[in-house]
Structure 1
Amino acid sequence: MSSHPQAVPAPLGVGILGAGPVTQAIHLPSLARLRDILEVRHIMDVDHAVAESVAGRVGARFSTTVEELLADPQVDIVAICSPHQFHAAQVIAACRAGKKAVLCEKPFAMSGQEAAGISAVSAETGVPIIVGAMHTFDPGWLAAAAAWGDLPQQVHTIRSSIVLPPNPRFEDFATEIVGRAEVPPRDNADPDVVRAMLTGGVMGLAIHDLPLIRRFAPEFRDVEVLHAETVRPFGYVISMRAGAVDIELRAAMNGTWEPSWTLEAIGDDSSLHLDFTPSYVHAGSATARINKAGSTTVLGPFAHNGYEGEWRKLAELARGTGAAPSADTLIHDLEFALSIADAAAARFGAGTSAYEETRA
């Protein structure tokens, strides 16, 4: 046997498109803990001052164009954290630029057809794509999936409950945000505003849990929204059925409650309860409790959560190890979210969906 130590591979270079609060308060702290395997080398933002300031925090290059970042040979992995209407074109451009892996914040496309086009380019170029729905990569969730047995076949009820303060509070705890856009006040009495809030809540908040929920709802295309309403100042209550499974989605963002994020899947003789860490928290994973036949199995918390988990997965994929999510998985997760968003909006009137209106 050789006595020579095995060489440690050099860190992979990361380039980030969009230097807003998610980049500043989530991705940069996560990457700072993984500097032995990943190194931020290029930050792009259309706002020159924001790009320069954020890049300066990590000693990276900065630019104001997508083309300049994608042409940087020091960038192996691209994270797309721009406004969602730019995601599809930027994912495709990153794949065609010969990068090793792409992380796209949710939603990674604006329609199922657009998602299929992205997946085709990923297959053609061989560049793997993952979507930044962090709970999919949470070790607590992954441990539960490895241990729950036949639970998915017997689940009849699913509940997702989210109680959080507004994002800026968590963002300010994490870092000093530069370049935050002001959010105009909402008219909660305007039906168009209500519809936009519902679909925005589904596509911006519930979407973190929807890939998990879909594991227990095989008839995910058969979505019937029974009730949908908003919660002041921001939130939603949506009751629906997907095939034979009853699903309840609840969320409230305000300043009065202790943060909580739970997901329950209830079957005939077993159930799963997941307690996730709140958004922006860079601590341990979810804790999973599987109840079956009078016994309880507790899994977690583990050392990191899904924010770090998705970057660890990207590093694996960029080095050619591990399996990327299938094209069908990415497409079906998006179609499930879009169908819920559109069906919830339809409770407030026919015609163009609120998600379509937010895209205009």
Structure 2
Amino acid sequence: MSATAGVGVLGCGPVTQAIHLPTLERVPEFHVARVMDINPEVAESVAGRVGAKWSTDADEVIADPDVDVVLVCSPNGFHAEQVIAACRAGKKAVLCEKPLAMTEEEAAEIARVSTETGVPVIVGAMHTFDPGWLAALDNWNEILTAAHTLRYSITLPPNPRFEDFATDIVGRPGPWQGGEFDADAAASMMSGSIMGLAIHDLPLIRMFCPDWEEAEVLSAQIIRSGGYLLHLRIGARNVRVAAVMTQTLQPEWRLEAIGDDIALDVDFPNSYVHYGSAVATLSRGTSAERVGPFEENGYVGEWRYLADLVNGRAEPIPIERLIDDVVFAIRIAGTGSTEVRDRFNREMETAR
């Protein structure tokens, strides 16, 4: 094996180009050994940036003996099969972008194969590795049990604005050309929004909710211009999950946990930003304490953890925890989609 661990990349879209490749430049324990994309021009261009081999076949990357760690950045529907294949190939670890799986059955199979092969799996939920968030847990762990209200809100301009700050994107997918906006389209939009955007911080929400399996979707609404609004009841906790896509408002990515006499506010940096962690503020009455920002963000944090894992300096994250995280998201996406479809049909019926 090389002095550094070889990374094999499956999928060379904006997440690979604008997040992982710039991050890997900061983590000397790794080098990119091979990249794959179904578009050969994109694969060759991205490989040229990092001096790697390239392919249009995921199986070739997984089988490559120079690849020690597989990074799964393919479309969501391919995640489970590629994670499983990498585990069966006996790689040192697999880092999969969110979501880890799209069904509970896929999630269960990942857990089975990872356990059977002993290959650890990491999910690229960058905020779970953010130094500001981790410092908040270290300093104010009591908020996990004290909070009765949780608010998770995102305000974002289109991703290309941030992607272009990070790198020059080749082969960016074109804008989605939607058809008729009907009940099925609304339901699909809700499911895609939860599994593509809300899933970033649902693992953090779940940390506050040991009874997460009792989650009840009280209301769900899709914003046709881009966004969603969900109200949940999880045990004794009220949870609001919201996002809006905007061209004009100030970007924001925030998690708030509120108790009777204590409140935590975590202000995360936007996606694709390569400097600085979250800033976390804990308020008790009229006093407030703050941690962050730290110099590094969660992207670097996840790769540094992976380096420690590959080199025997860290313990694997229990696969059961990662499976519970994705099952939580899958169930909310399913229930939210059903609520949105029913709401759309009720409104259409009333309009008649």
Match of 1:11 among 4, 13, 37: 4
Match of 1:88 among 73, 80, 83: 80
Instruction: Look up the SS of the partner of 2:45 in the other structure.
Output: helix
Matches for 1:201-280 after TM superposition, within 5 Å: 201-280=193-272
RMSD: 1.5
Instruction: Look up the SS of the partner of 1:119 in the other structure.
Output: helix
Q: Determine whether 1:316 maps to 2:308.
A: yes
Partner of 1:3: none
Structure 2 counterpart of 1:25, one-letter code: A
Q: Is the 8 A contact 1:284 1:302 kept in 2?
A: yes
Q: Determine whether 1:20 maps to 2:3.
A: no
Alignment gaps of 5+ in structure 1 = 1-8, 351-360
CA–CA separation in structure 2 for the residues paired with 1:12 and 1:228? 44
Please give the per-residue CA displacement for 1:296-347, whole angstroms capped at 9, x wherever unaligned. Answer: 2211111111111111111111112212221221111011111111111111
Provide the aligned length of Structure 1 versus Structure 2. Answer: 341
Normalising by structure 1, we get a TM-score of 0.91
Instruction: Look up the SS of the partner of 2:35 in the other structure.
Output: strand
Partner of 1:163: 155
Partner of 1:140: 132
Instruction: Look up the SS of the partner of 1:348 in the other structure.
Output: helix
Partner of 2:185: 193
Change (3 A) 1:214 1:188: farther
CA–CA separation in structure 1 for the residues paired with 2:313 and 2:271? 29
Partner of 1:356: none
Change (3 A) 1:305 1:235: same
Change (3 A) 1:329 1:188: farther
CA–CA separation in structure 1 for the residues paired with 2:329 and 2:243? 15
Deviation of 1:293 (Å): 4.9
Structure 1 residue ranges (4+ consecutive) displaced by more than 3 angstroms after TM superposition: 185-189
Partner of 1:174: 166
- The 10-residue stretch of structure 1 (20-29 or 119-128) with the greater mean CA deviation from structure 2: 119-128
Please give the per-residue CA displacement for 1:30-78, whole angstroms capped at 9, x wherever unaligned. Answer: 11122x2111111111111111011001111111112211222221111
Q: Determine whether 1:106 maps to 2:98.
A: yes
Q: Determine whether 1:32 maps to 2:52.
A: no
Q: Determine whether 1:152 maps to 2:141.
A: no
Q: Is the 8 A contact 2:36 2:56 kept in 1?
A: yes
Deviation of 1:225 (Å): 1.3
Deviation of 1:169 (Å): 1.8
Give percent identity, aligned residues only: 55
Instruction: Look up the SS of the partner of 1:184 in the other structure.
Output: coil
Please give the per-residue CA displacement for 1:77-130, whole angstroms capped at 9, x wherever unaligned. Answer: 110001111111111111111211110011111222221211121111111101
CA–CA separation in structure 2 for the residues paired with 1:249 and 1:333? 16
Instruction: Look up the SS of the partner of 1:54 in the other structure.
Output: helix
Instruction: Look up the SS of the partner of 2:309 in the other structure.
Output: helix
CA–CA separation in structure 2 for the residues paired with 1:328 and 1:188? 40
Q: Is the 8 A contact 1:16 1:79 kept in 2?
A: yes
- The 10-residue stretch of structure 1 (216-225 or 184-193) with the greater mean CA deviation from structure 2: 184-193
Structure 1 counterpart of 2:308, one-letter code: E
Q: Determine whether 1:281 maps to 2:273.
A: yes
Partner of 1:67: 59
Deviation of 1:136 (Å): 0.6
CA–CA separation in structure 2 for the residues paired with 1:322 and 1:296? 33
Alignment gaps of 5+ in structure 2 = 343-352
Structure 1 counterpart of 2:86, one-letter code: A
Structure 2 counterpart of 1:85, one-letter code: G
Normalising by structure 2, we get a TM-score of 0.93
Change (3 A) 1:166 1:188: farther
Change (3 A) 1:187 1:266: farther
